[in-house]
């Protein structure tokens, strides 16, 4: 019995030692807790999906907030100081810092560790575009200390010029990254279907945009622009356009263009007011209608001077009949500038008009088929809405025109005229206008919308397009100075950029063109907004931030006089 016990005592430690060794081998393979996310376990496609949608939402928010300043939609004002509050840009700011930057910063190392270089490159491009935009809106913004979490909960703002430089460096890094052979392509690239080549083209185009934007403060801008142009790889065809397309779903989720939803989505008629100036430029200024006008705007009521229209109640009839007579005509108002109601049904609002809103939802002009996927104007004289008998248009399958080939051409024309860069300014202007016409004309078919008419009196035709270009060229050649020629380039850019408030706002601050913007309806609306108040979510929760005293603080690339035509 003692021998047996002794044998057990000797054998047991050996068995225990062997068992522990084998268990340790198994435990070593389980050291990563499956309940905790790791870099290797991250799915770059999921991050990319959030990044792309966040950027689209960011750009759309910025465009909607800036387009009233350039008279695309109405700024209620009446002064520039009270047109926006510190909370106006809270959503844009939060989207940039808590969604775009966080998502990109997380996705990029995950993607690069797996050789998913297209994912990584996209992240860098969109991060750079967002940085440019934040500077354009606010000036100095956090970058080097941003998104560090608990390590720095009060990030200091970087100099705006330094942030621009950092964004350009990001684009260079993106171009390099996108040039590598990727282990896999994105499965959900909503812009370019996973094409590394097209994202590289966008990155180079954004560099061109930055160099033109900073041409007033950068003595080396001409050489930088020429270097980009020499590569021949910028957005120059419609197939390369950087644009986002919406859907037609009405719920779970509603995928329609927000401009459509806000104006066609109920039976209350249009909600927003189109700027009187924007409609006048297209429908009246040249003495003939721009062939793109019926694509841009939809008139619910063809003749707003006919106050007997049954869609107006008695109070609203009286309001419209007397409005222009009782409102004081602004002093020094240009005789050639639009004011109040434009004959022919172009029913909008003047810049800075903060009068009460009448019952005009069923008669005022609203967004057309381009780019909001509303209705094409073929003189239907029908109110918009969702019920039978209402004009529903293209069901909201609209487009966000973030960067189009025409924009690239207009920038090249500006640079050629003002800096002497590669290319002929007049020829580039012609190409830009032509590209815009082609984009607008093709858009209804692109979104499978059948135009309500085949009458060429309403449509863009080759003859109308050429006649329009001939008219502009004649104006351009007659312009006696570089400044006058630049005004023509920027006016045509303004028209072609319909639906994009950001680019027109940047262009105006850089060039002070177009030089005949409709004035505000009060004599002294204050100085034009050169950068916005910092968002309240930034000022209220960051101890290092001091709110601006005014909105005439210029970003570094804007050196134009304080008293821009406003």
Q: Express each pLDDT in 309-324 by its tens digit.
A: 666 655 555 555 545 5
Give a yes or no: residue 84 inside a domain: yes
Sequence-ordered list of residues with C-beta below 8 angstroms from that of 162, at least 6 positions apart, any chain: 143
Report pLDDT digits (tens) over 101-136. 999 999 999 999 999 999 999 999 999 999 999 999
Q: Write down the pLDDT at residue 343.
A: 76
Same domain for 175 and 312, yes or no, is no
Give a yes or no: residue 209 inside a domain: no
CATH classification of the domain holding 59: 1.25.40.390
Same domain for 175 and 298, yes or no, is no
Q: Write down the pLDDT at residue 465.
A: 98
Same domain for 352 and 283, yes or no, is yes
Same domain for 185 and 277, yes or no, is no
Q: What's this model's pTM, rounded to 2 decimal places?
A: 0.90
Give a yes or no: residue 17 inside a domain: no
Give a yes or no: residue 276 inside a domain: yes
Same domain for 149 and 68, yes or no, is yes
Q: Write down the pLDDT at residue 40.
A: 58
| Separation CA 467–CA 441 (nearest Å) | 16
Q: Averaged in consecutive runs of 10 residues, what is the pLDDT profile of the chain (566 residues)?
A: 40 43 47 50 89 97 97 93 93 96 96 97 98 98 85 88 98 98 95 98 98 98 98 97 96 94 94 93 94 97 62 56 49 64 82 83 93 97 93 96 98 98 98 98 97 96 98 98 98 98 97 92 90 95 91 94 75
Give a yes or no: residue 216 inside a domain: no
Beta strand pairing status for 399-403 and 157-158?
A: unpaired
Sequence-ordered list of residues with C-beta below 8 angstroms from that of 470, at least 6 positions apart, any chain: none
506 close to 286: Cβ distance less than 8 angstroms: no
**DSSP H helices in 314-424:** 314-326, 405-419
Same domain for 137 and 271, yes or no, is no
Report which of 155, 128, 132, 153 is spatially closest to residue 143, judged by C-alpha positions: 155
Give a yes or no: residue 319 inside a domain: yes
Q: Write down the pLDDT at residue 522.
A: 86
Same domain for 171 and 309, yes or no, is no
Same domain for 389 and 275, yes or no, is yes
- Please list, residue by residue across 48-81, b when 16 or more beta carbons sit within 10 angstroms of its beta carbon and e when fewer do: bbbbbebbbbbbbbbbbbbbbbbbbbbbbbbebe
Q: Write down the pLDDT at residue 4.
A: 42
Angle (nearest 5°) at CA 350 between 59 and 525: 85
Give the structural domain span for 95. 44-194+532-539
Q: Which of 370, 397, 424 is the last residue of a domain?
A: 397
């Amino acid at each position: 019995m003692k021998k047996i016990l002794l044998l057990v005592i000797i054998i047991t430690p050996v068995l225990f030692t062997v068992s522990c060794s084998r268990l340790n081998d198994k435990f070593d393979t389980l050291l990563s807790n499956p309940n905790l996310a790791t870099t290797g376990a991250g799915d770059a496609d999921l991050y990319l999906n959030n990044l792309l949608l966040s950027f689209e939402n960011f750009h759309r928010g910025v465009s909607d907030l800036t387009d009233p300043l350039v008279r695309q939609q109405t700024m209620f004002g009446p002064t520039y100081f009270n047109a926006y509050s510190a909370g106006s840009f809270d959503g844009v700011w939060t989207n940039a810092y808590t969604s775009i930057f966080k998502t990109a910063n997380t996705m990029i190392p995950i993607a690069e560790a797996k050789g998913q270089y297209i994912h990584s490159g996209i992240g860098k491009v969109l991060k750079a575009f967002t940085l440019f935009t934040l500077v354009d809106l606010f000036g100095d913004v956090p970058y080097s200390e941003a998104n560090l979490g608990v390590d720095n909960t009060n990030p200091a703002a970087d100099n705006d010029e330094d942030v621009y430089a950092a964004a350009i460096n990001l684009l260079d890094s993106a171009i390099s990254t996108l040039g590598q052979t990727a282990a896999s392509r994105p499965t959900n690239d909503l812009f370019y279907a996973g094409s590394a080549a097209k994202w590289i083209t966008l990155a180079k185009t954004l560099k061109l945009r930055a160099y033109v934007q900073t041409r007033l403060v950068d003595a080396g801008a001409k050489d930088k622009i020429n270097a980009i142009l020499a590569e021949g790889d910028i957005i120059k065809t419609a197939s390369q356009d950087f644009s986002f397309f919406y859907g037609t779903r009405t719920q779970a989720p509603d995928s329609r263009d927000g401009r459509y939803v806000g104006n066609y989505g109920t039976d209350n008629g249009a909600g927003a007011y189109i700027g009187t100036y924007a409609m006048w430029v297209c429908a009246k200024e040249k003495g003939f209608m721009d062939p793109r006008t019926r694509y841009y705007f939809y008139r619910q009521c063809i003749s707003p001077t006919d106050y007997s229209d049954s869609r107006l109640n008695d109070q609203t009839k009286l309001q419209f009949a007397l409005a222009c007579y009782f409102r004081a005509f602004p002093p020094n108002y240009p005789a050639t500038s639009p004011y109040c109601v434009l004959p022919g049904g172009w029913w909008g609002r003047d810049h800075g008009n903060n009068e009460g809103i009448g019952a005009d939802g069923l008669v005022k002009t609203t967004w057309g088929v381009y780019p909001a996927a509303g209705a094409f104007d073929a003189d239907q004289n029908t109110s918009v809405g969702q019920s039978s008998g209402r004009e529903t248009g293209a069901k909201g399958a609209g487009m966000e025109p973030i960067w189009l080939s025409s924009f690239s051409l207009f920038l090249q024309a500006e640079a050629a005229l003002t800096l002497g860069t590669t290319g002929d300014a007049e020829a580039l202007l012609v190409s830009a206008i032509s590209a815009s016409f082609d984009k607008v004309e093709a858009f209804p078919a692109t979104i499978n919308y059948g135009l309500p008419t085949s009458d060429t009196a309403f449509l863009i035709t080759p003859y109308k397009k050429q006649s329009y270009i001939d008219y502009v060229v004649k104006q351009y050649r007659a312009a006696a100075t570089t400044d006058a020629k630049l005004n023509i380039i920027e006016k045509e850019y303004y028209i072609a950029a319909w639906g994009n408030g950001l680019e027109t706002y940047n262009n105006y601050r850089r060039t002070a063109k177009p030089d005949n913007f409709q004035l505000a309806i009060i004599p002294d609306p204050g100085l034009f907004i050169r950068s916005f108040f910092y968002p309240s979510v930034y000022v209220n929760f960051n101890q290092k931030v001091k709110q601006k005293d005014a909105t005439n603080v210029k970003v570094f690339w804007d050196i134009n006089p304080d008293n821009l035509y406003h």
